[in-house]
Structures are given as C-alpha cells and as structure tokens.
Amino acid sequence: MAKKQFDFIVFDWDGTLMDSTATIVKCIQASAKDLGLPIPDERAASYVIGLSLGDAMQAVLPDVDPKYHPRMVERYRYHYLAKDHELPLFPGVREMLNELSQDGYFLAVATGKSRVGLNRAMHSANLLSSFDATRCADETFSKPHPAMLQELTRELGQDMKRTLMIGDTTHDLQMAANAGAASVAVEYGAHEASFLQELDPLFSAKTVDELREWLNQYA
C-alpha cells in the first residue's frame, strides 16, 4: 500500500506506549508525602505528566517554597525506580511498532523522562532497537516547547510537514502545534479526552487497536 501523508511518526512514552500513568501519579503523591507537603490529588498529579520532572513538581505544587521542588524530584525518582521495571507496555503496542517499522516509517520517541529513565524503560520493554531516534526532557527543552520535534526531524532528515506526533497529553499536542507537525491523541493516558480535543488532533484513539487501525488506513 502506498504511504499516504507521513514518513515520520513520533510517540510520547508514558501513557501512550507504556501503561505508567497510575504509577507516576502515586510516585508524585508519595514524594510530597515524604516531605510533609500537601499531597496533590490524582487529577493534579496526572495533569503534569509529560513535563520534565523539575517542571512537573513546580506545576503540581506551585505554592510551596521552591527549595522543595528538587527534593521532590529526588524522592520521586526513589519511588519510581522501585517500580519502573514492572511497568507493562499497553497491549498491542509492540505489534503496532513492528508493523509501522515494516511499512517503512521512521519512528521516534519524545518524552518528559530523563535519558536514564527512558533507556531503562526501553531496555526492560525490549524496545531499544525499535526507534530511529529518541529525545528526552533532560537533553533539551521540556514539552510543549517544539525543540524535541525540531531536533528529531533534523537528526533524521525528516520534513516537519510529514511528521506525526502521537501522545496522551495536551503537552504533546501543543508541542506538535508549536512545531508545525500534525498530531493524534490517545485517550487511555493521563489527560481527559475533552482537553485533548481542544487542540484539534487529526484523530483521537480510545485504544491502541483504534490507533493502529487509524495509522494503517490514514498515516
């Protein structure tokens, strides 16, 4: 089948490929608890998923003394590292990536994780060889700044107009808009579908299967 409109597909990681939203929320809450700070509710904690860790802690507890934010990052890492090797990919992700790769798409990851965190996650999911390039929040600007997409397209010699960003948060979709790339939302991650719709994605998938089917037909 002839390729239609994209050559390059960029995925967010947490909440898009890996089923980690609930664990991230719990770790953010635990880090606040450890330091005796107000514990953010689930909605507030899921809203900051996708930002770099420093930005996320600042956004989730904007009113606490800023000296606590780096300490929250440290506690978060402690809790998350105890759990990250158990986190599964969403069902169907591996098959979808294999299919896209066989169809000749360039594939990449743009994530709010640190380089160490992404490498660990990709290693435990056995996906290290599935992507042509990856970009992490500690290497460049955090989402929704367009830098990750700009750097990835440059690195792989791709055209932004033929690039598709797929993510579960408004940070992902806003980054795509800021970079001039198209976007597709997934509704099974951190942000509510109504928030995602406001950013006009080409499609909004309720499941990985729906995403895979759409990519197969329209990408």
Separation of alpha carbons 170 and 209, rounded Å: 21
Instruction: List, for residues 24-35, the tens digit of each pLDDT value.
Output: 999 999 999 999
The pLDDT value given to residue 1 = 45
Q: How is residue 139 written in tokens?
A: 């290497």
Exposure class string for 21-42: b at 16+ Cβ within 10 A, else e: bebbbebbbbbbeeeebeebee
Enter the DSSP assignment of 49: B
For the chain, give the percent of residues with pLDDT over 70.
Answer: 99
What are the residues facing 107 on neighbouring strands? 9
Annotated catalytic residue, options 14, 84, 168, 172: 14
pLDDT at 219 over 90: yes
Quickly state the pLDDT bin for 17 (edges 50, 70, 90): very high
Question: Is the omega angle on the peptide bond into residue 144 within 30 degrees of 0, that is, cis?
Answer: yes
**Residue 3 burial by Cβ neighbours in a 10 Å radius (0-12, 13-18, 19+):** exposed
Instruction: List, for residues 112-169, the tens digit of each pLDDT value.
Output: 999 999 999 999 999 999 999 999 999 999 999 999 999 999 999 999 999 999 999 9
At how many degrees (to 10) do helices 170-179 and 147-156 cross? 60
Annotated catalytic residue, options 7, 12, 55, 84: 12
Q: What is the pTM of this model?
A: 0.94
For the chain, give the percent of residues with pLDDT over 90.
Answer: 97
Exposure class string for 122-147: b at 16+ Cβ within 10 A, else e: bebbebeebbbbbbbbeeebbbbbbb
Domain 8-19+87-218 fold: Rossmann fold (3.40.50)
Specify whether the CB–CB gap between 121 and 19 falls below 8 A: no
The pLDDT value given to residue 85 = 85
Quickly state the pLDDT bin for 199 (edges 50, 70, 90): very high
pLDDT at 96 over 80: yes
Give the number of other Cβ atoms within 10 Å of residue 161's Cβ: 12
Separation of alpha carbons 33 and 81, rounded Å: 17
Instruction: List, for residues 52-86, the tens digit of each pLDDT value.
Output: 999 999 999 999 999 999 999 999 999 999 998 88
Domain 21-85 carries which CATH code? 1.10.150
**∠ CA(94), CA(43), CA(22), 5° rounding?**
35
65: annotated active-site residue = no
- DSSP helix/strand/coil, 158: coil
The pLDDT value given to residue 3 = 55
132: annotated active-site residue = no
The pLDDT value given to residue 53 = 94
Domain regions of the chain by residue span: 8-19+87-218, 21-85
Separation of alpha carbons 52 and 210, rounded Å: 28
